[in-house]
């Protein structure tokens, strides 16, 4: 079968919402990699191989060698942020990367100056932005963002653009049928300036899709996971995906819970707590923002363990998630899990995990992969929710009557089989 993916010709603009720890780590690392100063550790697009055909054929090329991904040298970075600091200043302030690593790409980082952000403090109460747009309404907010995208594209001579959310978690927004059910209702709500039903992140998503740019939701915000946005993505023929980057504690859950399920080991309880001190931790210290994150984190286990199918094993487990803001730890997050399980004849056992991770170091390669894969999907003509990218998210987007897949290894198999489809290769079992 002929590969029908459009080639990655020209420059790809990468517009990041939020120029904080995650995004500056992503940008600085990508710049360092393309200068030959570092390795893209953790990036599927840059380092992972894919098996094609039977094992005896020994065809195991790098993904980037068989799928037409955009070359890193063709990426052009831009951003919006609520503070005016350049990417260099923001990366230094974030204290994730060592100063020599930041200084190695200083010129490029200094050239990235954020555009004023579309911001409403009612949605992120712990932040006080000084570099924000003045908007008469949500519709005006969208129009200003669309103008930003067009200007960035022309100024930087980009052929295509991807917009990716790496900003803070907004307060919890439940699905509102009268606003979120159809595109017509959604657009009218923006024009009527229903600020309590239309979040700033929704304005970014609407602007991106309307300008022909895929949109990636990296936080647990209610955003592109509503019917109105699905309708817009279909109308514009643009990919959308999300939500909430799967980095530390939830990554471990998508590995450990499939093991319990596969071995038919029971679960009595799973207690998870985190400490972190970056801007994300400060935002999540607000109960309304934490509610959004909690919903995302709690959604994982049920879809893997299937308690309705196995009530004796998983019908009554207790699941608790906590996040604690602790400034001294900064970006070096610690996730601690206590898992109470039971086995043969009901005898109890425990699993304890202490994951001393670096939040932005784990997230940065996900941003790179998602940008390249959504651009690939757009060139392939794949639009709407990209289920094959669930591998990267805590709370994968899914349809109204669908159950999300959270098993990391099934997700990995789905991703690779989608790539095989693109180049006319046969599907393999997810374990291959």
- The pTM is what? 0.93
Strands 239-242 and 384-385 come out as parallel
User: How do the domains of the chain map onto residue ranges?
Assistant: 12-245+361-422, 249-356
| Res. 3: pLDDT tops 70 | no
| Residues 82-121: tens digit of each pLDDT | 999 999 999 999 999 999 999 999 999 999 999 999 999 9
pLDDT over 70 percentage in the chain: 97
CA 20 to CA 27: how far, in whole Å? 11
Determine the 3-state secondary structure of 429 from DSSP.
Answer: coil
- Band of residue 2 on the pLDDT scale cut at 50, 70, 90: very low
Task: Assign a CATH topology to domain 12-245+361-422.
Answer: Rossmann fold (3.40.50)
> What is the per-residue pLDDT for 92?
97
User: 229: which residues sit within 8 A by CB, 6+ positions away?
Assistant: 186, 202, 205, 206, 209, 223, 240
- Band of residue 422 on the pLDDT scale cut at 50, 70, 90: very high
User: Which range, of 74-83, 127-136, 280-289, averages the lowest pLDDT?
Assistant: 280-289
What is the average per-residue pLDDT within 344-363? 95
What is the average per-residue pLDDT within 256-273? 96
| Res. 27: pLDDT tops 90 | yes
CA 257 to CA 299: how far, in whole Å? 12
Question: Comparing C-alpha atoms, which of 41, 28, 152 is closest to residue 87?
Answer: 28
Could you please report the per-residue DSSP string of 63-78? HHHHS-PPPGGGEEEE
Q: Which tokens belong to 404?
A: 């999300």
Superfamily in which the 249-356 domain is placed by CATH: Dihydrodipicolinate Reductase; domain 2 (3.30.360.10)
């Amino acid at each position: 079968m002929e590969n029908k993916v459009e080639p990655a010709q020209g420059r790809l603009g990468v517009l990041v919402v939020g120029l904080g720890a995650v995004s500056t780590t992503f940008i600085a690392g990508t710049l360092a990699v393309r200068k030959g100063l570092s390795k893209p550790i953790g990036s599927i697009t840059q380092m992972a191989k894919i098996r094609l055909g039977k094992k005896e054929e020994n065809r195991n090329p790098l993904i980037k060698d068989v799928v037409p991904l955009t070359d890193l040298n063709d990426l052009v970075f831009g951003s919006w942020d609520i503070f005016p600091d350049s990417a260099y200043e923001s990366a230094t302030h974030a204290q994730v990367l060592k100063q020599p690593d930041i200084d190695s790409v200083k010129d490029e980082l200094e050239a990235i100056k954020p555009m004023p952000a579309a911001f409403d403090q009612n949605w992120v109460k712990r932040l006080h932005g000084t570099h924000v747009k003045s908007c008469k309404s949500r519709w005006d907010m969208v129009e200003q963002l669309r103008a930003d995208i067009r200007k960035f594209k022309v100024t930087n001579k980009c052929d295509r653009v991807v917009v990716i959310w790496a900003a803070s978690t907004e307060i919890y927004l439940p699905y509102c049928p009268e606003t979120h059910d159809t595109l017509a209702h959604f657009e009218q709500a923006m024009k009527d300036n229903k600020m309590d039903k239309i979040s700033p992140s929704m304005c970014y998503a609407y602007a991106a899709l309307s300008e022909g740019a895929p949109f990636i939701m990296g936080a647990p915000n209610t955003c592109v996971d509503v019917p109105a946005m699905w309708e817009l993505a279909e109308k514009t023929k643009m990919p959308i995906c999300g939500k909430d980057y799967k980095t530390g504690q939830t990554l471990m859950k998508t590995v450990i819970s499939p093991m319990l399920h596969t071995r038919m080991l029971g679960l009595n309880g799973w207690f998870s707590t985190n400490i972190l001190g970056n801007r994300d931790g400060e935002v999540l210290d607000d109960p309304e923002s934490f509610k959004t994150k909690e919903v995302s984190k709690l959604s994982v286990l049920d879809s893997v363990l299937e308690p309705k199918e196995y009530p004796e094993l998983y019908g009554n487990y207790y699941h608790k998630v906590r996040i604690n803001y602790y400034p001294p730890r900064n970006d070096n997050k610690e996730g601690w899990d206590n898992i109470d399980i039971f086995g043969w004849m009901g005898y109890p056992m425990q699993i304890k995990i202490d994951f001393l991770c670096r939040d932005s170091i784990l997230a940065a390669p996900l941003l790179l992969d998602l940008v390249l894969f959504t651009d690939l999907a757009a060139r392939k003509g794949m639009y709407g929710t990209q289920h094959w990218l669930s591998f990267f998210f805590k709370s994968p987007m899914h349809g109204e009557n669908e159950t999300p897949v959270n098993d990391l290894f099934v997700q990995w198999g789905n991703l690779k089989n989608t790539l095989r489809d693109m180049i006319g290769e046969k599907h393999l079992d997810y374990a291959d």
